[in-house]
Chain A
Amino acid sequence: MKFRNILGLSWANMRRRKTRTALTTLGIVVGIMAVVSIAALSGGFEAQITDQLMQGLDMDILTVMPGGGILGGGGLTSLNLNDTALIQNVTGVEATLPYSQTGTSVYNETGGTLDTRLVGLNFTDLEAVYGHKLQFAEGEYPGIGVNDSCMIGYLDDPIADVGDNITTEILVRVGMSFSFVNVSFIVSGVLDEAGQSGMLPLDRSVFVPLDTYQDLFNSENIDMILAKIDDPTQADAIADEIRDAFEDQVLVIVPSSIIDTVMSVFDIMEIFLLAIASIALLVAGISILNIMLVSVMERTREIGIMKAVGAKDRTILSQFLSEAVLLGVIGGAIGIITGWGLAYGMGLMLPLLFSGNFASGFTGSDGGGFGGFSGSSSFTLTPVLPIETIFIAIGFAILISVIFALYPARKAAKLDPVKALRYE
């Protein structure tokens, strides 16, 4: 029998029991709806987060840190200024910014305090790497060779103006003992808001010359070296060259790898959620199995008739399987549409539900941290449903329907025609 005719007969059979067909389809609809809405929401979420990370991370800045080595063993324990030359030599690297930092508290002249980080760096390096992001609210960089000046990153509520003194208390090691030392700096410049800036937060930080910093802590070491590269698409290759330059004794962080890591966490979450949603599909499959078995029993006589007038076993088999395919296609299509609708609705609802804690939780307390959402008001979630997902969902719906229809369909095909005709 031709496929078109088989489908036609299936359609007639399904129309005959509209309520039952609708209920069987509903199972598939719910299962696919769950899968599709989860896929669409997490797709939207991923797109959103990638977007935010891309903004927060400067894709053209690599971070070089001590460490590396093979299997976590070995690797440099520290970097120093000479190491910048090695990095600078790698083709594709435009500028380097070595810096060290430490968490600290800063006091102004009127007793106001700020928990912040003290960053030691060369301001010419900073200008070379982050110049495009930096704008002074007032003042300028501390002059070259000036040891007692500092620059303050953007603060909602500025702690000091240009010309003011600020004091910071730092823990210093002298010989075998540690002691707190108060150090004062004259503010030479205050920055405007720079926004997110990857590993080195520009806002809320206090910057001092690297020499001063190293003198204070009595150390030649630097914590990290940022490398600005000319072509972000070559980031991985340039990172490899830097690692080679250090004989694999350093860690080089490529911004896109951070995105990849975050995404892989989301992928695991998504797979987990999808696995849960597939249980709905499994239940739908079992209900198809159940209903098809009833249907085969009810239609025993018809199966006998079809065989008596010359239907082959495989005709009967494909008859029932094609009904399952139709169920899958219809249920899958409706499931995709409703699943998309559900995801869209939830995308609109989510920001309302979480506008308080959710967004601010991501924004973090230091406005400069990477990957934070830029603000609660701008947080919306648009579901993303790639065309592949649509095909996969339909395919899955059909697959589930057919798998669970296989047993009843075989049962129908194997019916003895004489017994089937005598069946009341």
Chain B
Amino acid sequence: MTEQKPVQTTDPLKALYDYQSHTSDYIIETTNLCKTYEMGPVQVHAVQGVNLQVRRGEFLVILGVSGSGKSTLLHLLGALDQPTQGKVYVEGLDLSTLDHNKLADVRLRRVGFVFQFFNLMPQLTAQGNVELPLKFAEVPTASARGRARELLTRVGLGERREHIPSELSGGEQQRVAIARSLANNPRIILADEPTGNLDTKTGAEIIHLLRELNQTQGLTFVVVGHDQRLTTVADRVIEMQDGAFVSERKGGGEVTVQ
């Protein structure tokens, strides 16, 4: 693996980070994080009182049954959703202080999302999907093209760049999604059941790829899901139930998965 090429665009958050990042040792931190949905008279506490600290370069896995609030938490960490209470700090930056555009910049440059259902743009090729966040970041066309090609090669899809998602297998689509999440060189990858829609073997390959990126690039991973194999590669495993953390243990910490 070669070292990632730095992307040459100005990060509007840079100044904010430089000012604030020394305030925290953790790459992600939350304090009393809550997300409550009002369903008429009923309140659904999707996330309640979560205090989380994620270390730089950590591979964290959050397990929990369906409806326990894993996705909601991940969306809050990734600036995709706003909490009803509590705070999220990403690389020391308090997300509650950011406006709409700045939050979009956090998603663009500071975190990468990987989803269960891949969430690729159906009309774009693998190459086009990986280029998309680069275009949002106004990376010059030629460098965007080169960067996307390099990332697709890194996830093992060098030969399938010109295929649209419907022409790719689930595993291949998830590889494209991983390549896309890496586009603007974020230090954090948030993965929501990345193996949930894949067969056992392909799922193992994807977990392996994530762990490899974590090990070689020093990327921080927060992966949520049911897949027990995630715990074998995880540095740390947190169990979630009804929107709150109920247990925490050390993960298997293995570099590969069977």
Residues of A participating in the B interface, judged by any CB pair closer than 8 Å: 1-2, 4-5, 9, 12-13, 15-16, 301-302, 304-313, 315, 417-418, 421
Contact = CB atoms under 8 A, between A and B. Distances in A.
7 contacts: A16-B123, A302-B121, A309-B136, A312-B100, A417-B81, A418-B80, A418-B81
The listed residue with most B CB atoms (<10 A of its CB), out of A1, A4, A5, A307, is A5
B132 A309 contact: yes
Given A309-B112, A309-B133, 17 more contacts: A5-B135, A5-B141, A13-B123, A302-B122, A305-B120, A307-B80, A307-B104, A307-B107, A308-B80, A309-B107, A309-B183, A310-B108, A310-B133, A310-B137, A312-B104, A313-B104, A417-B81
A420 to B, nearest CB: 10
B165 to A, nearest CB: 11
Contacts of A308: 78, 80, 107, 113, 115, 119
A298 to B, nearest CB: 11
B105 interface: yes
B198 to A, nearest CB: 19
A421 B105 CA distance: 18
B75 interface: yes
B167 interface: no
Kindly state the interface size class of chain B when it binds its partner. 20 to 34
B109 A305 contact: no
Nearest to B180: A309
A308 B186 CA distance: 14
Given A307-B104, A309-B113, A312-B101, A421 B123 contact: no
B123 A310 contact: no
Which secondary structure characterizes the binding site on chain A? helix
Interface string B88-128: 00000000000011001101110011010001111110001
A310 B184 contact: yes
Contacts, number: 73
Closest 8 CB pairs of A and B: A310-B108, A5-B135, A312-B104, A310-B107, A309-B133, A305-B119, A418-B81, A16-B123
A254 to B, nearest CB: 62
Nearest to A301: B119
Contacts of B120: 305
A315 to B, nearest CB: 6
The listed residue with most B CB atoms (<10 A of its CB), out of A12, A304, A305, A308, is A308
B104 A421 contact: no
A394 B143 CA distance: 35
Contacts of B181: 309
A19 to B, nearest CB: 15
A5 B140 CA distance: 10
Interface string B204-240: 0000000000000000000000000000000000000
B108 A309 contact: yes
Nearest to B181: A309
Nearest to B108: A310
